[in-house]
């Protein structure tokens, strides 16, 4: 019996610099791994994403009641069309809430090759943000 490939853990490339939201507090950020947006996802059945977004400024607060994050994917290697996969619910910490938006989500694999991005809104306009994301692919 073939048990399939071993699990694959990816830590997406961190931004080389702090990125900013637009004037309405929105952004779209591609998730890259080793500078590539496409990941071979065909051998896996499920992916578990973990996200953390925060502002490096101590003067910025993230309002977890207003902010919204969604995971989008491009599932066609021939055409870069982005489809909303799911909204990411924040994990509200017991203390210091509002310093960061931490969330996670588990999804089935939908294509042999996939690209992912995070889209956010409801942040303070022109806020500078940092993002860290990882994914764990399993059969």
20 falls in which pLDDT band (50, 70, 90)?
confident
Count of the separate structural domains present in the chain: 1
**Residue 68 belongs to some domain of the structure:** yes
**Residues in a beta bridge with 20:** 128
Over residues 42-88, the pLDDT tens digits come to: 999 999 999 999 988 877 788 888 899 999 999 988 888 999 999 99
pTM, to two decimals: 0.88
Decide if pLDDT at 137 tops 90: yes
Burial of 105 (0-12, 13-18, 19+ CB in 10 A): middle
Over residues 22-38, the pLDDT tens digits come to: 999 999 999 999 999 99
CATH number (domain holding residue 47)? 2.60.120
Sequence-separated (6 or more) residues with CB below 8 Å from residue 40: 112, 113
User: Would you state the structure tokens that stand for residue 12, as one six-digit string?
Assistant: 């997406």
Q: Which residues span the domain enclosing 96? A: 8-138
């Amino acid at each position: 019996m073939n048990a399939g490939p071993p699990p694959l853990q990816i830590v997406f490339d961190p931004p080389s610099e702090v990125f900013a939201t637009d004037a309405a507090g929105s952004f779209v950020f591609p998730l890259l791994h080793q500078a590539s947006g496409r990941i071979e996802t065909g051998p896996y059945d499920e992916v578990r994403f973990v996200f953390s977004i925060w502002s490096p400024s101590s003067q910025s607060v993230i309002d977890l009641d207003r902010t919204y994050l969604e995971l989008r994917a491009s599932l066609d290697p021939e055409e870069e069309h982005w489809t909303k996969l799911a909204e990411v619910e924040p994990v509200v910490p017991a203390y210091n809430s509002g310093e960061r938006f931490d969330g996670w989500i588990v999804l089935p694999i939908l294509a042999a090759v996939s690209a992912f991005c995070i889209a956010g809104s409801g942040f303070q306009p022109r806020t500078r943000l940092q993002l860290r994301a990882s994914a764990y692919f399993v059969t």
